[in-house]
Structure 1
Amino acid sequence: MAKTATTRYDIAEHLRTPEEMAAYFEACLEEADGDAAFIAKALGDIARAKGMSQIARDTGLSRESLYKALSGDRSPGFDTILKVMGALGLKLHVEASRG
């Protein structure tokens, strides 16, 4: 029986347009249920899709600190989130919850 070769799925390889990136981030926000590290990881996926070096230049943060902040292992500061969102061309939208 032949072995099947598999590769690790990387969402960053599939986020090609600003609209796809925004839709992915919106879906992650809906699923996050208050998990800031999950949201940071989603931003990290989008940042990798756009190019982490460019995001680092645009935010004034080092690539290493961005990789750490957006790894999903920690919850970065809100200022970092806002800087990254700005560099990615994403905006926050607020609406009243239906709860």
Structure 2
Amino acid sequence: MSADDFSGPAVNGPEARAAQRAEFLDVRLRMNGCDEASFSRALLLVAELDGIDDVARACGVGTEFMRRQLNGTRPLHFDSVLQVTRALGVQLRVEALPDRPR
């Protein structure tokens, strides 16, 4: 084996963690019961695991404000979603659904 056999992001490196965060949030968005509150709480969980102080700072708000904003009890504004996802190093994407009935 050579070092080339292990190319790609480190198992616990920043790229791998961003990929894990993206996968976690993507799964939540695809769930049938996903709504604003559940996605908001998923964002909060990921922000907490990533270091909410850094995420809040990147969004230009305080940590407690970030927690209140993402706890699922307040309306989640799309600009907040974009700010938080960018701070987490992930992005949202839109894709067509497979043949859905009309």
TM-score (norm 1): 0.76
Give per-residue Cα distances to partners, 1:54-98, cap 9 Å, x unaligned.
011101011111101111223311111111011001111111123
Q: 1:63 to 1:32 in 2, by over 3 A?
A: farther
Q: 1:69 corresponds to which letter in structure 2?
A: Q
Stretches of structure 2 that go unaligned for 5 or more consecutive residues are 1-15
Question: Which has the greater radius of gyration?
Answer: 2
Q: 2:88 corresponds to which letter in structure 1?
A: L
The count of corresponding residues between Structure 1 and Structure 2 is 84
Stretches of structure 1 that go unaligned for 5 or more consecutive residues are 1-15
Pair 1:96-2:89 in alignment: no
Pair 1:36-2:54 in alignment: no
Identical counterparts, % of pairs: 31
Pair 1:61-2:57 in alignment: no
Which residue pairs with 1:24 in the alignment? 24
TM-score (norm 2): 0.74
